[in-house]
């Protein structure tokens, strides 16, 4: 089915090129998922070609036939098995022009906002509360035919209430979903409040996607970090090159992309991310008006953070020090892996004689030391990616 698409623009072809270059080891489970992704890409291409032919036939007086959307994919498995890497490759080669990739959390936050606005418009127009889901679903389907979701998980009752009605409409309009998750679809929102509201959606989802468990032999991310120096000091050309080397190893040289995280109505720009890894500079996180909940959102979105250029913080930079403390707390509590370049060892990063941050930073320094240990790097507890 995939022969019509050149090997160089298939997931399996790009995956094999990475194997040949020594960037990754071949894994049978990953190769099997790559084949499924290529089959879906070919099916999307064929459906689009058929739709165009059907439209041309209608122009010349022939009957226009409906083209059924292919089934999407729901890829789940334990952390570090390569789900996000394969999604990166698939999204790069997907021929569907109306494609969108998003963290599921961001997509749902945006959808709730659109539903709120649609409800206001309908109320003003009709003088009554009409169902706002239909115009929102129609707008999404008009914009996007292929929806790719990272971190598909349901933890919020508001999302659970909305999912069934929204995706019923999206699937009716031919939207195809590809998702990665750590959770078997049957366990979505497990033990959640009023879980019965989501059960029809779970049933619908499994009708519209093929469910694949990515059961790779190991956590490749931990293999790559094991034995790697993840706290690099001082700030010089050597540490910056080492940071780049770790990035390339973790992302397998797959080109990065940018994205935006949403949190409580605010946007957090992520300028460089790939394969569940995000690269930030100290200034991007700690010189911006970000709070503890923003750092928690980052910790929930990525399994590894690369943090570039942490300076020695003097008393006059106490606001930046406070943000850095909150950032490390969020990453530590969620067992996120941290690779950092800094101008001094952890115990020497905060240079101030007095203030509450002095005592708080003692905990931060202790955590930074622990976060570079083999025990911490091997700990999967709490990781959601």
Residues 204 and 242 in one domain: no
What is residue 265's predicted lDDT score, i.e. its pLDDT?
Answer: 80
Q: What is the mean pLDDT of residues 109-123?
A: 87
Mean per-residue pLDDT, 230-250: 93
Give the global pTM: 0.72
* Domain boundaries, position 357: 220-377
Let me know whether 281 and 208 are in one domain: no
Does position 123 have pLDDT exceeding 60, yes or no?
yes
Q: Do 237 and 312 belong to one domain?
A: yes
In this prediction, residue 352 has a pLDDT band, given cuts at 50, 70 and 90, of confident
Residue 65 has pLDDT above 80, yes or no: no
- Give me the pLDDT at residue 384, please: 41
Average pLDDT over residues 35-63: 74
pLDDT digits (tens, 9 = 90+) for 19-42: 898 878 888 999 999 999 999 999
- Answer whether residue 383 is part of any domain: no
pLDDT (0 to 100) of residue 219: 60
In a domain, 230, yes or no: yes
Same domain, 34 and 145: yes
How many domains would you assign to the chain? 2
Instruction: Say yes or no: 255 and 322 in one domain.
Output: yes
In this structure, what CATH number is given to the domain that contains residue 91? 3.40.50.300
Confidence bin at 222 (pLDDT 50/70/90): low
Query: Tens of pLDDT along 241-294?
Result: 999 999 998 888 888 999 999 888 889 999 999 988 999 999 999 999 999 999
- 239 and 371, same structural domain? yes
Distances (CA, A) of 341 to 305, 334, 348: 11, 21, 14
- Say if 2 falls within a structural domain: no
pLDDT at 5 over 70: no
Do 181 and 38 share a domain, yes or no?
yes
Distances (CA, A) of 197 to 132, 192, 201, 333, 375: 18, 10, 8, 31, 40
Residue written as token pair 């034995």? 227
Residue 286: per-residue pLDDT: 96
pLDDT at position 329 = 94
247 and 204 fall within a common domain? no
Given a cut of 80, whether residue 347 has pLDDT beyond it is: yes
**What are the tens digits of pLDDT across the range 96-107?**
999 999 888 889
Which residue, 189, 213, 237, sits at the end of a domain?
213
- Choice among 221-235, 311-325, 332-346 with the minimum mean pLDDT: 221-235
CA distance 122 to 119: 5
To the nearest whole number, what is the mean pLDDT of the chain?
86
* Same domain as 233, residue 359: yes
pLDDT for position 105: 83
- Within this chain, do residues 37 and 136 fall inside the same structural domain, yes or no? yes
Q: Evaluate if residue 365 carries a pLDDT over 50.
A: yes
Mean pLDDT of 204-231: 82
Domain boundary among the residues 144, 179, 213 is at 213
Where a domain ends, among 197, 213, 229?
A: 213
Tell whether 54 is covered by a domain: yes
Residues 294 and 196 in one domain: no
Is residue 206 located within the same domain as residue 226? no
Q: Is residue 246 part of a domain?
A: yes
For the cut 80, the answer to whether the pLDDT of residue 353 exceeds it is no
Output the domain CATH number for residue 304: 3.40.50
Q: What is the mean pLDDT of residues 48-54?
A: 68
Q: Is residue 1 part of a domain?
A: no
pLDDT of residue 11: 95
């Amino acid at each position: 089915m995939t022969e019509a698409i050149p090997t160089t623009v298939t997931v399996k072809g790009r995956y094999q090129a990475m194997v040949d270059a020594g960037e990754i080891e071949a894994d049978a489970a990953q190769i099997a998922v790559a084949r499924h992704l290529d089959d879906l890409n070919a099916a999307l291409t064929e459906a689009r070609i058929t739709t165009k032919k059907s439209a041309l036939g209608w122009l010349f007086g022939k009957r226009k036939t409906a083209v059924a959307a292919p089934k999407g994919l729901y890829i789940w498995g334990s952390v570090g098995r390569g789900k996000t890497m394969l999604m990166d490759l698939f999204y790069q080669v997907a021929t569907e022009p109306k494609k969108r990739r998003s963290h599921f959390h961001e997509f749902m936050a945006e959808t709730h906002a659109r539903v709120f606005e649609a409800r206001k418009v309908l109320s003003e127009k009709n003088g009554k509360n009409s169902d706002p889901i239909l115009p929102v679903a129609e707008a999404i389907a008009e914009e996007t035919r292929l929806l790719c979701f990272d971190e598909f998980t349901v933890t919020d009752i508001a999302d659970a209430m909305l999912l069934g009605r929204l995706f019923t409409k999206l699937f009716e309009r031919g939207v195809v979903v590809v998702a990665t998750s750590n959770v078997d679809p049957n366990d979505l929102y497990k033990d959640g409040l009023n879980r019965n509201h989501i059960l029809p959606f779970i049933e619908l989802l499994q009708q519209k996607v093929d469910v694949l468990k990515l059961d790779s032999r190991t956590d490749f991310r931990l293999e790559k970090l094991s034995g790697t120096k993840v706290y690099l000091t001082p700030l010089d050309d050597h540490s910056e090159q080492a940071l780049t080397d770790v990035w390339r190893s973790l992302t397998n040289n797959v080109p990065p992309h940018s994205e935006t995280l949403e949190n409580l109505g605010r946007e957090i720009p992520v300028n460089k991310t790939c394969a569940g890894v995000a690269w930030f500079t100290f200034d991007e996180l700690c010189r911006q008006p970000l709070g503890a909940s923003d750092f928690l959102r980052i910790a929930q979105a990525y399994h590894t953070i690369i943090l570039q250029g942490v300076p020695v913080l003097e008393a006059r930079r106490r606001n930046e020090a406070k943000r850095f403390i909150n950032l490390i707390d969020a990453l530590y509590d969620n067992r996120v892996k941290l690779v950092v370049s800094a101008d001094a060892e952890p115990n020497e990063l905060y240079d101030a004689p007095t203030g509450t941050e002095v005592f708080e930073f003692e905990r931060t320094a202790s955590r930074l030391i622990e976060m570079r240990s083999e025990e911490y790097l091997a700990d999967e507890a709490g990781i959601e990616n």
